[in-house]
Amino acid sequence: MEVDMIFKIAAIGIIVAILNVLLVRSGREEQALLTTIAGLIVALMMIITQIGDLFTSIKNIFGL
């Protein structure tokens, strides 16, 4: 895994946390929850591509 990928995921986490706090304090708990779920989905989509590359590399190494 590349270091920039870790920084991107960390940046998404920080932005989502800030938005969550702002929305909860303004009384919009439902939107805060949706923002958190959206951030989680974006981070998971980034990780899924890396996992796909990992499986492809494993298949090539073992000749499967």
Contact 46, 10 (CB under 8 A): no
pTM of the model: 0.77
Query: Closest Cα partner for 40 from 4, 64, 9, 61?
Result: 9
Q: What percent of the chain is predicted at pLDDT more than 90?
A: 86
Residue 55: pLDDT band with limits 50, 70, 90? very high
pLDDT at residue 57, as a whole number:
93
Burial bucket for residue 29 (CB in 10 Å: 0-12, 13-18, 19+): exposed
Residue 1: predicted pLDDT: 58
Range 36-46 average pLDDT: 95
Rounded Cα–Cα distance for residues 4 and 43 (Å):
13
